[in-house]
Amino acid sequence: MPIKSADVTASSVTDTTRHVVQEFLAARMAGDVERLVALFADDVDWLLAENPAVPWIRPRSTGAECAAQFTELAEHTVAEDARASVDAFLVDGTDAVLTGYLSGTVRATGKSFEGPFALRLTVEEGRITRHHLYENSVSIAEACTPS
């Protein structure tokens, strides 16, 4: 059975999305903010539950602001204690979803946080246009709150 051109196009879009997300993860692990800025679109649909106790979580909408979140996270947490594992990496067209588990320690309080996460990314024209992160915000806020 011949492959339809729509199937090839859908496959190439999915491949591009997978590649960009893999680049994002590699840049994230390397702390390469310049590369992260290049991977994010100029305007980004950013979602991460806000909490005034957590200094690195705030509204963001530009690629530079989104990339800066990773620098701010590093400033407020202990690098040696940071852990993240990806259990699933699903890609369908322009959308990718990663699920896993993360943990870390807040530098200012010495308290730890942990919990599952889900990350939805959308890639359009080779850049990330959506970054929605769902995580255990209660655990993170408690770790940021002094005793």
- Given a contact cutoff of 8 angstroms between Cβ atoms, the answer to whether 146 and 109 are in contact is yes
What separation in angstroms does the CA of 108 have from each of 51, 54, 57, 88, 145?
16, 11, 15, 32, 9
What does the block give as tokens for 95?
Answer: 């959308």
- pLDDT per position as a tens digit, 7-63: 546 689 999 999 999 999 999 999 899 999 999 999 999 999 888 899 998 889 999
CB atoms within 10 A of CB 61: 12
Distance, in Å, from the CA atom of 119 to the CA atom of 132, rounded to the nearest integer, reads 6
pLDDT digits over 83-103, tens only? Answer: 999 999 999 999 999 999 999
Which domains occur in the chain, in start order? Answer: 5-144 (3.10.450.50)
